[in-house]
């Protein structure tokens, strides 16, 4: 992209986000340096996307170099291709068990999933691996089992770095469960300590009783062996 081509597109950003005035020349030169290698039509589409979607605010009154880069990535054909693949992948993937058929709950306990993979796994565990008609047997069991609820969707989302993670709502639910779990552990510790204290009390009471009993029997022994005129 030549400097003129760049200038023409860039001035559209200045028209919308800088009251129609050119930004400071050194800053403008930095922008050009950053994007001179970008294909003109790609840059134009990125500028369109920014004009449609950029909301000036906070420290960023005018689209930064980083924002324009992000827009370029968003509108680039490779990215669109990847996004398409991702949509297909998303539909094929159960977000609860990741197609493994089993998932761990917040306590680390394994469960069979309600999706097809979970049902198949559950059935397969009932048929020994050496069985010659194993597949047939598994299919028979699957038919008798409750219907699949399908791949669970909507609990994962891609974060800006491209990794799948729990949605905020799911994460919140997870945190609530985790907090409950911590409370249960604390309660167990408290009860355990209480029990230990009770045991100690029992021992103390027990030893006092023992001591009193010993004293009484000692007194009795003395009384038996002593003269009747002792003072008790
Ligand atoms: Zn599943």
Task: Give the residue ranges of DSSP H helices in 18-64.
Answer: 25-35, 40-53
| Pairwise CA distance, residues 157 & 173, whole Å | 15
Task: Give the residue ranges of DSSP H helices in 76-167.
Answer: 77-92, 116-124, 134-144
Cα 58 to ligand 1 centre (Å): 42
* pLDDT tens digits, one per residue of 85-109: 677 777 888 999 988 899 988 777 8
Cα 96 to ligand 1 centre (Å): 5
Please enumerate in sequence order all residues whose Cβ is within 8 A of that of 226, keeping only pairs 6 or more positions apart, or say none: none
Cα 131 to ligand 1 centre (Å): 26
Q: Which of the four pLDDT bands, split at 50, 70 and 90, describes residue 219?
A: confident
Q: How many CB atoms lie within 10 A of CB 129?
A: 7
Q: How many CB atoms lie within 10 A of CB 79?
A: 12
Cα 123 to ligand 1 centre (Å): 14
Token pair 């009860």: residue: 191
Tokens of 227: 């003269």
pTM recorded for the entire structure: 0.46
* pLDDT tens digits, one per residue of 166-195: 888 888 888 888 888 888 888 988 898 888
Cα 92 to ligand 1 centre (Å): 10
For the segment 51-66, the average pLDDT, to the nearest whole number, is 90
Q: What is the pLDDT of residue 159?
A: 67
């Amino acid at each position: 992209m030549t400097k003129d081509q760049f200038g023409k597109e860039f001035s559209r950003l200045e028209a919308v986000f800088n009251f129609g005035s050119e930004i400071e020349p050194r800053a403008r030169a930095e922008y050009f340096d950053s994007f001179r290698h970008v294909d003109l039509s790609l840059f134009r589409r990125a500028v369109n996307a920014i004009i449609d979607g950029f909301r000036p605010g906070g420290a960023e009154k005018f689209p930064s170099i980083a924002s324009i880069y992000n827009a370029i990535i968003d509108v680039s054909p490779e990215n669109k291709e990847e996004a398409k693949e991702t949509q297909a992948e998303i539909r094929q993937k159960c977000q609860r068990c990741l197609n493994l058929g089993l998932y761990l709950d917040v306590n680390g306990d394994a469960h069979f999933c309600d999706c097809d993979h979970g049902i198949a796994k559950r059935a397969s565990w009932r048929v020994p691996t050496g069985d010659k008609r194993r597949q047939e047997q598994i299919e028979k069991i699957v038919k008798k089992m409750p219907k699949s609820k399908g791949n669970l969707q909507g609990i994962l989302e891609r974060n800006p770095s491209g990794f799948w993670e729990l949605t905020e709502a799911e994460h919140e639910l997870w945190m609530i469960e985790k907090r409950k779990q911590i409370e249960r552990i604390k309660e167990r510790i408290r009860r355990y300590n209480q029990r230990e204290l009770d045991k100690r009390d029992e021992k103390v009471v027990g030893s006092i009783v023992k001591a009193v009993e010993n004293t009484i029997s000692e007194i009795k022994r003395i009384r038996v062996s002593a003269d009747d005129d002792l003072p008790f």
